Chains A and B, each alone.
Chain A
Amino acid sequence: MSPPVPSKILTDDVSLLMVLIDSNPHFWSSIKPHFSFSKFLSHVLAFLNSILLLNQLNQVVVIATGINSCGYVFDSSSGSVSQRAESLLPKLEEFAENDESLSERDDDSGNGVGSSLLSGSLSMALCYIQRVFRSGPLHPQPRIICLHGSPDGPGQYVAIMNSIFSAQRSMVPIDSCVIGIQHSAFLQQASYITGGVYLKPQQLDGLFQYLATVFATDLHSRNFLQLPKPVGVDFRASCFCHKNTIDMGFICSVCLSIFCKHQKKCSTCGMLPNVCRSIFGQAQTRDPSASQQRK
């Protein structure tokens, strides 16, 4: 009796790609003169199709990141035949409608571009990946790529850090391609911690070339390739009172918040150091170059 033949033969280079597209309308209208959403979509669709062509078993899932909601707009493995990426367009339109209906009536924002819900779409991507992990021993290697442009929302800090850590735990790399004007501190850290690639393309009309060169490779081949990496990630602490970067400071022993001067009372947790509950000690926090010497 011959052993049952597995229905899928998954080699090392099969990947499951979760693409998080930034659909923040404010951002896209502000960037309109340089780069339009339609051009962006055409680059991205061509990229997704080429991923699907690289290997028959590759899977692509696209999640749209709006300002009020996030949603799945494309799943290449749904349906009997692998679909082409263009089929995401109607769904994307639907998503935009839905997102609009969720926004408040009197929101005539003339003040800056709001942030999109990156934490939500990261969480959705990680949930999908978990489901794939539990589907059996044979599964493609997942990774996440964020095509993001909106500025980082400080309120999402904790949620994004949580999803970054869970991605690190599940060994899912988060690649970032930042199409906005500013760098994104969150995505920088995300890519650094999870072992992904962070890139801010200089020329947005060559976006497809960037995507195909840097982000199309599967995880196994990345061991043999040189991919661009940023010069450094700054992990230096900043004091809570003045937001300056400091090298030597004081730390509350209860909540570990950092201050540059001796404080009578910790402003974060409200503990008084003289009541023997939090003791201020001098701590020396070093920048990365010096921290390497501690080895």
Chain B
Amino acid sequence: MANDPSSPVKLNVEFRTIKGHKFTKDGTKQALLNLTQDQGGNYIFEFENFPDRNVCKDFVASAIALSGEAGRTVPEKSAVPIQDEQLSAAEMERRIKLLQEDSDLQKLHKQFVIGGILSEAEFWATRKKLLEQNYSRRPKQRVALKNDMWSTKPLADGQSNRVTFNLTPEIILQIFAEKPAVRQAYLNFVPNKMTEKEFWTKYSRAEYLHSTKNVIAAAAEAAEDEELAVFLKQDDMLVNEARKKIRQVDPTLDMEADEGDDYMHLPIQDHGLPRNDNKDVLDSQYEPYRRSFSQHLNQHAAVVLQGRVIDVELGDTRSVAEALARTKHAELAKDASDVYLDKERLERISRMTEIEDLQAPRDPAVAPLSIKDPRDYFDSQQANAFSTLGDTVSGAKQLKCSVSTREAYCSLKECISEIKFQGLTEPTINSEVAFKVLNGLAQNISSNKYHLGRNPNESILDSLPKITREELLLHWSSIQELLKHFWSSYPITTKYLLTKATKLKDAMSQIYPKLQEIKESVQSDLRHQVSLLVQPMLQALDAAFAHYDADVQNRSARSGERPNGF
């Protein structure tokens, strides 16, 4: 419908029905604002210029937010009330999620933050713990390295003489982690001497040769191909690493570990494992080409347990190799620079090997307990108990005992012998007295039941109608929230605190008459209970108001003095 100023029809649409808004970009032909309804219709408004349209757009955004629920995760940032602090998207998400989960919190949030009484920052300032809890619930697990040693097992094609190796980036990462010599070779050879494909082909060939356990063939091929030899020989880098690790073992923790545990230097007798081909006495020239299973297994285990040390994308082999090399270098550098490490270890060793019996006695490092007399605490409780039960004055009097102990005991014993000889009194109890007692008890019980209800554990809240109960609880939690912020803003030192206190006080004075209303609206038999419930709320509010007024008076008195006193 085109804009017709003379048209008598006014457009009156509730913001509740408007679901979202769209707008044309600044600078296009028309400045349009399109409001979509949730039933499907939409209204298109055309503006004279873009600034006007933008103002309207902001207003519409906040209006939609106000009338919608707080839990809508609208990606438009303008839907959230304007805030002073910069929030990350993650933080926003956390808050919204928390609001969605807890409806009471949502109500409070809506009432105060969207109502403008508290700012977002203040509201969430006291709830950091809630947000953190939510956040930490998210799992932070990462996938570890595969513990699969045989992933490079070739697929032997039975028909042709071809053996296929599958190398995924994961496998490459593991190879680089386990065999530093291969990594070094990669960095050296590729792309200078050979392409990546060639490199891996050579490596696969080396693996194949190893898997055939044909040491002599391995030696032969190594002699021909220099690069292949790198893969076939023992890994020197690994050897050095193992040696270093052994040296770093803390003797105070592991007294047994020594050079003999260096698994890389063990003779190839495989540490006790049975060997299949003892009969081979090979030349020493073949020794370097032998690979030991236990060494390989140890190294693999060490790498897997260490986990992922780098965070690089696995696609690019070179970068993976470089990253691993870098980390290793960093470790080496750290170790080299740790001159004090040895010294510290020596100190620690000397400390740990102290013999306790030969030490001088040490003073106990504790402060003596001083526990107060429970009497002091108890006396006050007694006074409380009496005041609750509404005891009369005569009860508070102390009984005076003017007889001596011996006399007291005498009279006690007399009483006992009196009964012994005379027997029980007949009748035990006077019938009138009994009747009176019964009546008294019955009345007491029925009046109690009337006042307190059947079950002593049942609360008064449950006997109220649902609406009243909900209102009361809501008011209680809002008052708590307001009072918390109110009292925390005192003593007032800045203007910001002053405005905050005033706003809070106004909000509280709005709730005050509502409480009175509730008291009156309830049925007459419940009125007393409800007023008992409401009483502490009113008292707390009164205390806050009194404090506020006193403070305002002080403030005005002080500022009144100044023009006179200078």
Contacts and interface: CB of A to CB of B under 8 A. Distances in A.
A247 B384 CA distance: 13
B428 interface: yes
Nearest to B461: A292
Interface stretch (A28-36, A53-61, A123-131, A165-173): A28-36
A151 B399 CA distance: 9
B282 interface: no
A157 B395 contact: no
A37 B430 contact: no
B220 interface: no
A41 B459 contact: no
B384 A28 contact: no
B456 interface: yes
B441 A38 contact: no
A30 B399 contact: yes
Nearest to A46: B428
B533 A293 contact: yes
B416 A37 contact: yes
A157 B411 contact: no
A32 B415 CA distance: 11
B134 to A, nearest CB: 23
Contacts of A185: 381-382, 384-386
Contacts of B390: 231
A258 B271 CA distance: 69
A245 B409 CA distance: 39
Interface string A17-42: 00000010111111110001111011
Interface string B397-426: 111111111111101110111111000110
A264 B331 CA distance: 51
B368 to A, nearest CB: 9
A78 interface: no
Nearest to A268: B372
A289 B380 contact: no
Contact of A90 (B396, B420, B434): B420
Contacts of A208: 428-429, 434
Nearest to A202: B440
B415 A41 contact: yes
A269 B369 CA distance: 7
A31 B403 CA distance: 12
A26 B408 contact: yes
A294 B161 CA distance: 80
Interface of B: 367, 369-372, 374-391, 394-409, 411-413, 415-420, 424-425, 428-430, 433-434, 436-438, 440-441, 444-445, 448-449, 452, 454, 456, 459-461, 472-473, 476, 532-533, 535-536
19 contacts: A25-B412, A28-B412, A30-B401, A43-B429, A86-B420, A89-B419, A90-B420, A93-B420, A96-B416, A181-B394, A182-B396, A183-B385, A202-B440, A206-B429, A213-B441, A228-B448, A234-B387, A238-B380, A269-B371
What 3 A-B pairs have minimum CB-CB distances, sorted nearest first?
Answer: A25-B408, A185-B385, A243-B380
